[in-house]
Structure 1
Amino acid sequence: MATDNLTSTPTLMQNQTAEPALILSLNNVEVIYDHVSLAIKGVSIDVPQGAMVALLGANGAGKSTTLKSISGLLRPERGLVTRGEVQFLGQNIDALAPQERVKLGIVHVLEGRRVFEHMTPDENLVAASAVRGTRQDMLRNKDMVYSYFPRLHQRRTAQSGYLSGGEQQMLAIGRALMTQPKLLMLDEPSLGLAPFLVAEIFDIVRRINNEEGLSVLLVEQNAIAALEVVSHGYMIENGRVVMHDSAEAMKKNPDIQEFYLGGTEGRSFHDIKHYSRRKRWLT
């Protein structure tokens, strides 16, 4: 009796080592401002579909510039990608204008909670929905935003300029969600907020990621908060990626613990000041 070939090629179900599809990939990206100042140098970052990834580093390390190279917001600041490429869903988007990138599904929440202060939260959300979608999409998306941010629903008729800093950050994220994005990029959402508000907002973003399948690229100086919600992180220093690992591995790294997670007890200011000259990941 003939027997089945038991050594045939494994099926997709059997292949457990396949890499997840990437929604975003930066390959060796270099950015120069005013044709002179080199801001980021050979940055490579991958964001898998449906993942939350953090880009960490000190102020001025190149984190915001990296986000602007993705959203296309470099040109108003006289910046230019001079090397490498940015791919979104497998498409090179270097030549696309910012509004075309939004239509593809990229949304960038800028640092500083930039909302229309003279308008109500409800009006802010409606204005953001004009980017794409129908009226039915707008109503459905607004209901979704209010379900994640019930505090905004309570304040929906107030003037946005009178909202608290945390409420304005919620509104900035809510406006971004109104564009029906596939990739949400957050630039320093914890800036100037009390720790309990940071924890609340990050928990909501994690829920949105889990429940809506929305990919998130989070730029943060607050490594403690960021590494609690993301799966992977990149550390950027002086315009270069100097470390990439899982969030758990980064939290256990002694250099990360010492200089980003507050474990500097017993260290002198002189040691901390010269940390960049001797950190182990550059040796």
Structure 2
Amino acid sequence: MALLSLNNVEVVYDKVFLAIKGVSLAIEEGDMVALLGANGAGKSTTLKTVSGLLVPERGAVTRGEVTFDGQDILSMAAAQRVEKGIVHVLEGRRIFEHLTPDDNLTAAFPLNGSRQKLQALKAQVYDYFPRLYERRRSQSGYLSGGEQQMLAIGRALMTQPRLIMLDEPSLGLAPVLVQEIFEIITRINREERVSVLLVEQNAAAALEAVRHAYLIENGHVVMSGDAETLKQNPDIQEFYLGGHDRVDYHNVKHYRRRKRWLA
């Protein structure tokens, strides 16, 4: 049985705009999965459907099922889903900029947890992100973009999640930092057996890290498979990996290049 399962899910904003249309996907315990696609494809909406963050944006699931560990979670509030083990690292590194990294980690820890557990989890985060330990007394707003992303992931670990959902963790970061962060995410997945659902426009980096991927376009899942298979797909290479020589099809009369899955 999959840890997380979406079955034919549809989401509508403001009772008018259909954002995702019949999305189905599954993530096994301890797996690492990417959700690829262009801006506006429905990737972030899919994550918010799982984490329960649709309501503040006037969105609603109008069809389908979302189960976590075999339990329907659509009726649960976002806080209850966190307690179940689902954590969502939002796009844009939503940290408390006026607090130190150490205080940010404390703020993410459950109120009913013990001080001993708090210190143990902080030590774990600093082990994964040594740079955060060096900057733990600085104001978080003055951290670099990469350090803020590390802090956002570290705060997620303070909830002891079973599933981490990451929305565009590479956004605005230099390639060397992207590689470092993806290596740490992979290490967390391997060592902690935390499942990872990764939303990325940087398909090349994502497919190097994950084992399975889904491609979403215009609210539909149009392709899925193991990462190696998708990397070899000519349409994925051309439209998402920058492979193959481009042809100026505007100069070819009566020809319109289309993605094979849209034909």
RMSD: 1.6
Residue aligning to 1:265: 245
CA change 1:270–1:94 in 2 (3 A) is: farther
The counterpart of 1:184, out of the listed 155, 161, 164, is 164
**Separation of aligned partners in 1, 2:21 and 2:141:** 38
Residue 26, structure 1, aligned to residue 6, structure 2: yes
Q: Is the 8 A contact 2:10 2:21 kept in 1?
A: yes
Deviations 1:78-119 (A, max 9, x none): 000000010000000000000000000000000000100000
User: What TM-score, normalized to structure 1?
Assistant: 0.89
Q: Is the 8 A contact 1:124 1:175 kept in 2?
A: yes
Alignment of 1:96-115 (within 5 A): 96-115=76-95
CA change 1:270–1:55 in 2 (3 A) is: farther
The counterpart of 1:158, out of the listed 138, 141, 144, is 138
Residue 245, structure 1, aligned to residue 233, structure 2: no
Residue aligning to 2:47: 67
Residue aligning to 1:36: 16
Deviations 1:136-164 (A, max 9, x none): 22111110000000000000000000000
Q: SS of the counterpart of 2:3?
A: strand
Deviations 1:145-194 (A, max 9, x none): 00000000000000000000000000000000000100000000000000
* Aligned partner letter, 1:267: V
User: What TM-score, normalized to structure 2?
Assistant: 0.96
Q: SS of the counterpart of 1:124?
A: helix
Q: SS of the counterpart of 2:189?
A: helix
Residue aligning to 1:7: none
Alignment of 1:109-258 (within 5 A): 109-130=89-110, 133-258=113-238
Report the identity percentage.
70
* Aligned partner letter, 1:195: P
Q: Is the 8 A contact 2:249 2:257 kept in 1?
A: no
**Separation of aligned partners in 2, 1:126 and 1:33:** 34
Deviations 1:216-258 (A, max 9, x none): 0000000000000100000000000000010000000000001
Structure 1 or 2, whichever has the larger Rg, is 1
Task: Count matched residues.
Answer: 260
Unpaired runs of at least 5, structure 2: none
Residue aligning to 2:33: 53
Worse-matched range after superposition: 134-143 or 80-89: 134-143
